[in-house]
Chains A and B, each alone.
Chain A
Amino acid sequence: MTFLTLKISTFILSVFLLTWVFSLVRRRRLMEEYAFLWICIAGVFLVLSFFHPIIDRVARFFGIEYGPAALFLFFHVVTLFILIRVSIQLSDYKAKKRILAQEVALLKDRLNELDQRLNGHEPADL
């Protein structure tokens, strides 16, 4: 009974995840690169919901007595890697954003300078 409940809830969860990811891609809120990742994760959930013994076999291979513990460990590690990757990308975007903002500020100043010259005024502090 409990086993069936687990199967059904995992199945519902993976279907929900898949539907969500697909709708995000459709609305262009998620780039393909990330969509692929999340579809893979939803896929793993789906497979595990049908073939439950896989968990125990994998757990035994790594010397983990309790199947679900292996499952938790697996998803924790995956989440950790995803978080680090996202942090790296965020840092990269932040650096690029800073360079852009500096360029904008310097170009805006240049534009002002040229504007002032056109109108026959001397630019500030020259």
Chain B
Amino acid sequence: MIHLGHEAAETLAMKKTTLIIVPAYEEEANILKVLKDIRTHLPEAAVLVVNDGSSDQTGPLARGTGVKVIDHPYNMGIGAAVQTGFKYAVAKGFSEALQIDGDYQHPAQEGIRLLKVLKETGADLVIGSRYVEETGYRGSFWRRTGNRLFQWVNALVMGEKIVDNTSGFRAYSRKALTLLARTYLGEYPEPESIGYLKSQGCRIVEIPVKMRQRTGGRSSITPWKGMYYMVRVLASIISFNRRSRR
């Protein structure tokens, strides 16, 4: 890493308006690949790894590459991890953020497109979708079934059809970041945030992206948690919709 004086560092910091948020839990097998991918395709952006209380080498490995790492004192789930990222982005004055999960499923190259669409359309949330077009991604049985259910419910309660509700590959505007920094949406926040942001007058755009299949580490959603997850998310989507009507 090149050493800069304080002033030079400050100026450079001010130029960075995009923050890449990488939530990571027990991802020592993937984190270096993810960060290298980001460095290659998004060299201009600031990178924040939120290490969600991993007991493996996720934190030290990420820190070794010179990116910013924030460590949760214990594991709190993906929802809390991305929210810590949102809080950081808002506090540091970033104007937009891109979420790239620490499991190497989200290609940074596709992230460029998400950010581009965010700028061009003026949307507050751009979701990278696996299912908008055939992109070669299948996902597990639970993910596909659950996603179909969320799709149906979100369409029913919001009148908007979002195809990939569970995708965490997303670009956020400053407005969305501010809203999500102060509202916690549960342990698995992806489907809920759509309803919530919508209720706050945010514009949501979905574009097709290519995703990789998971190679190392393990998914945050295990099959036996699937049913529990679905019921919880459904309850929360419905409750947000009711709140927004009031």
The reply to whether A95 and B69 form a contact with Cβ atoms under 8 Å apart is no
Interface: A109 (CB within 8 A): yes
Q: Which of chain B's residues have a CB closer than 8 A to the CB of A125?
A: 46-48, 66-68
What class of interface size applies to chain B in its complex with A?
20 to 34
The reply to whether A117 and B87 form a contact with Cβ atoms under 8 Å apart is no
The reply to whether B9 and A123 form a contact with Cβ atoms under 8 Å apart is yes
Q: Which of chain B's residues have a CB closer than 8 A to the CB of A123?
A: 9, 68
The reply to whether B13 and A101 form a contact with Cβ atoms under 8 Å apart is no
What class of interface size applies to chain A in its complex with B?
10 to 19
Which stretch, B70-78, B158-166, B231-239, touches the partner chain A?
Answer: B70-78
How near does chain A come to B112, taking the closest CB pair, in angstroms? 19
How near does chain B come to A120, taking the closest CB pair, in angstroms? 8
The reply to whether B66 and A126 form a contact with Cβ atoms under 8 Å apart is no
Q: Which of chain A's residues have a CB closer than 8 A to the CB of B67?
A: 124-125
- Nearest residue (CB) in B for A121 is B3
Q: Which of chain B's residues have a CB closer than 8 A to the CB of A86?
A: none
Interface: A122 (CB within 8 A): yes
The reply to whether A98 and B76 form a contact with Cβ atoms under 8 Å apart is yes
Q: A121–B84 Cα gap in the complex (Å)? A: 25
Interface residues of A in 28-75 (CB under 8 A from B): none
Interface: B218 (CB within 8 A): no
Interface: A114 (CB within 8 A): no
The reply to whether A101 and B76 form a contact with Cβ atoms under 8 Å apart is yes
How near does chain B come to A93, taking the closest CB pair, in angstroms? 14
Of the candidates B48, B68, B71, which one forms a contact with A108 in the assembled complex, judged by CB atoms under 8 Å apart? B71
Contact indicator per residue, chain A 94-106, by CB within 8 Å of chain B (1) or not (0): 0100100110111
B residues contacting A by CB (< 8 A) are: 3-4, 6, 9-10, 12-13, 46-48, 50, 63, 66-74, 76, 80, 83-84, 87-88, 91, 184
